[in-house]
Amino acid sequence: MVSNGLNGHTNGNNHPPVPIVDLAAWTSGDDQYAQKVAAEKLATAASINGCVGISGHGVDPAKLAEAFAMTKKLFALPYSSKMLAPHPDAPVPHRGYSGTGRENAAKKTETEDWGGTANKTDYEALIDFKESYEIGSQNNKVNYNIWLPEEVFPGFREWGLRFYWELHRAAMVTLDALMMGLELSDEEKRSIKGLHSGHDHQLRLLHYPPIGVERLKDTHASRLGAHTDWSMFTLLFQDEHGGLQFLDRASGEFIDAVPQDGVLYMNIGDMFQRVSNGYYPSALHRVVIKSPNAPRYSIPYFVPPRSDGMIEPQPSRVLRDGRQKYEPVTFKEYSEQSFKAINSY
Ligand SMILES: O=C(O)CCC(=O)C(=O)O
Ligand SMILES: [Fe+2]
């Protein structure tokens, strides 16, 4: 039988833990040799399952604590207040507040490689039990921000934008290291960097309410069904409850991304899988229920490319692999097709 993700077990221990890589050489200091060594470690780790824990990422712990405090305060507002900034009933702008049960993440994923005994149809029946709030750059005119009135949550807007740009810095360091580890040409690196002005990224605040004993009996309740992200990659902070898991492709089992102080989890998304011609696999991940009576908070920062940017396997990777594994696609085309697969819009 397929695990419904309720117990959080990974059915044995025949799999490696999520690797942890230190990027301090990139965030403090300019020792180029140390940077190269760290980039190589990052690339090797990311090539296994598309997921890596990153320490030395440079995000100030005090700012992170503030971010979790702001996230808790936001979701503690009455539903009627949160609905003053509603996510529209449309894919764009992907901004503002969405209530619980709105999204079915398992449906939006392109992979058919579910590993082990897992079956995509079983995952599709899951209803995600979470609420979220999406924030982006003020300069993004397509995905424009949807804010709560200032008096409903004073300081939220100002903090949200500040934190968005704080995570942008960590994201660009990660991108540079991931590109160096791929051994791309300078021109390839420049063109990928050109897809990331910073205005297309997305800061998501997430709250998974206590699921409760009654709902636990419902085999279709999970915190977040298995899916891949569409982004190039995603940075993610979670609270002490844990529950995030990644698919270990060799064993077909999900492995815990164990919460650790000072560590964020990075996962490769569908776009980097394409750009790297499959060297970095898009990580299948989910959130299981570790502590049903406690709320869980997490903060992902998605790093998608510019919407009209062409996403294609880089020539140097294709040359190495002897064949091109993916057709070129713009992120806009890709995400429009993928959005159609989510049943809540
Ligand atoms: O909450 C988490 O840990 C994971 C969130 C996630 O995967 C997503 O929002 O795409
Ligand atoms: Fe995700």
232: domain CATH number is 2.60.120.330
Secondary structure class of 299 (helix, strand, coil): strand
Domain span at 249: 20-339
Which residue's alpha carbon is nearest to atom 8 within ligand 1? 300
Task: Establish if 10 belongs to a structural domain.
Answer: no
**Residue 1 belongs to a domain:** no
Residue 36 maps to a domain? yes
Residues with CB under 6 A from ligand 1: 204, 206, 224, 229, 236, 238, 244, 285, 287, 298, 300
Would you say the ipTM is above 0.95? yes
Sequence-distant (6+) residues with CB within 8 A of 149 are: 84
What's the pLDDT at 122?
42
Inside any domain, residue 8: no
In which residue are the tokens 């992907």 written? 94
Best mutation site among 230, 247, 285 for ligand 1, i.e. most ligand atoms within 8 A of its Cβ?
285
Token representation of residue 140: 């993004």
Does residue 13 fall inside a structural domain?
no
Q: Nearest 5°: phi and psi at 29?
A: 105, 165
Q: Indicate whether 9 belongs to any domain.
A: no
Residue 245 sits at φ, ψ, to 5 deg, of: -135, 145
Tokens 């419902």 — which residue?
Answer: 218
Which residues fall inside 5 Å of ion ligand 2, going by CB? 229
Residue type, 62: A
- What residues form DSSP beta bridges with 97? 86, 133
pLDDT at 315: 97
Which residue has a Cα nearest atom 9 of ligand 1?
Answer: 300
Q: Into how many domains does the chain fold?
A: 1
Q: How far apart are the first and last CA of the chain?
A: 31
For residue 11, tell me if it sits in a domain. Answer: no
Cα distances (angstroms) measured from residue 222 to each of 93, 249, 272, 289:
26, 22, 27, 7
Within a domain: 320: yes
300 CA to centre of ligand 1 in angstroms: 6
Q: Per residue of the chain (345 residues), what is the pLDDT tens digit? A: 233 333 333 445 667 899 999 999 999 989 999 999 999 999 999 999 999 999 999 999 999 999 999 999 999 999 999 999 999 988 899 999 999 755 555 444 433 343 333 444 444 445 567 899 999 999 999 999 999 999 999 999 999 999 999 999 999 999 999 999 999 999 999 999 999 999 999 999 999 988 776 666 665 666 788 999 999 999 999 999 999 999 999 999 999 999 999 999 999 999 999 999 999 999 999 998 888 889 999 999 999 999 999 999 999 999 999 999 999 999 999 988 887 766 433
Ligand 2 center from residue 52 Cα (angstroms) = 14
